[in-house]
């Protein structure tokens, strides 16, 4: 073993996990994403003004010492609404991504390991859902029923399953044929235990990547619904709705529309980079053990 390999082998697992190429982008993405989570938790204390306070006399103001990002057409402070909007920007995508990955992983393990009629039923349902555009269905259902953010999340969750189930199912089928799974089955280990202790950890890197990729899709889909006036209620400090409300007056205050758009792009990119970085580190750490 080379001297560098000896040094790496002696490092604690946490330091070994952080070693290697791609660390600066991964750490930066993690810092940005965790920073947004922190803003979501303490948003009321960070906002310099009441994000819902309407002051017609302060409308269309540009950046100033009183309003760092200016005001919107109703005189509301853009920075305060941007900070308050971190709640829906983080909570809703995290909820949607976590639900989608939990259901997708369960269906993929059942289909990939049990095979037979279970795999046939799950695969056919997934094929049907895969042929339907999720965002278009969400727009129709939420628009017709007048459902709120909760219904939007449920619809996008259901139609976000197919791609994840297909990828994870293929990974489960590959690993289910490996010797250690056959050995566990020969020793009489129960099927649920094999699924939970052998197959789910084996596809862990793919689950992590799919989770953060799903966050990216969720951010885009939910902000698109908000931009169209669906999901969140009128007046909510949602970044997608802020862009829709302020786009007509962008010439008066550029930041009222550009700031939420840039925040959405930054969060989506950071989630994607973070997921890719964690997948790489997870794989390298697994090979080094």
Write the pLDDT tens digit of every residue in 11-29.
444 454 455 545 566 677 7
Distance CA 147, CA 233 (A): 10
Task: For residues 184 and 113, give the distance between their C-alpha atoms in angstroms, rounded to a whole number.
Answer: 13
The phi and psi torsions of 71 (rounded to 5 degrees) equal: -130, 165
- Dump pLDDT digits (tens) for 139-173: 888 888 776 778 888 888 998 899 899 999 999 99
Alpha-carbon distances, residue 74 vs 70, 156, 248, 254, 262 (angstroms)? 11, 32, 13, 15, 22
What confidence tens digit (pLDDT) does each residue in 175-215 have? 888 888 888 888 888 888 989 888 998 888 889 888 988 98
Domains and CATH numbers, the chain: 19-44+64-288 (1.10.3720.10)
Q: Locate 237 and state its tokens.
A: 């400090």
pLDDT of residue 109: 93
């Amino acid at each position: 073993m080379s001297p560098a390999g000896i040094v790496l082998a002696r490092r604690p697992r946490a330091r070994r996990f952080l070693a290697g190429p791609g660390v600066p982008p991964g750490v930066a993405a993690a810092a940005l994403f965790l920073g947004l989570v922190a803003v979501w938790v303490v948003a009321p204390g960070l906002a310099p003004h009441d994000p819902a306070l309407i002051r017609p006399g302060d409308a269309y103001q540009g950046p100033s010492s009183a309003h760092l990002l200016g005001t919107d057409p109703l005189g509301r402070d853009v920075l305060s609404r941007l900070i308050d909007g971190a709640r829906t920007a983080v909570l809703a995508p995290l909820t949607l991504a976590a639900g989608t990955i939990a259901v997708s992983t369960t269906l993929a393990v059942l289909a990939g390991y049990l095979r037979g009629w279970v795999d046939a039923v799950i695969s056919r349902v997934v094929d049907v859902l895969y042929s339907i555009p999720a965002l278009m269905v969400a727009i129709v259902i939420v628009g017709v029923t007048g459902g709120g953010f909760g219904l939007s999340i449920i619809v996008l969750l259901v139609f976000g399953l197919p791609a994840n189930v297909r990828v994870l199912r293929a990974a489960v089928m590959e690993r289910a044929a490996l010797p250690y799974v056959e050995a566990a089955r020969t020793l009489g280990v129960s099927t649920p235990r094999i699924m939970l202790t052998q197959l789910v950890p084996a596809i862990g890197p793919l689950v992590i990547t799919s989770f953060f990729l799903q966050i990216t899709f969720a951010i885009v889909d939910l902000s698109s619904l908000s931009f169209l006036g669906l999901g969140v209620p009128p007046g909510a400090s949602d970044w997608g709705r802020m862009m829709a409300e302020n786009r007509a007056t962008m010439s008066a205050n550029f930041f009222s529309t550009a700031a939420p758009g840039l925040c959405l792009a930054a969060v989506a990119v950071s989630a994607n980079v973070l997921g890719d970085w964690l997948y790489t580190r997870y794989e390298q750490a697994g090979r080094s053990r």
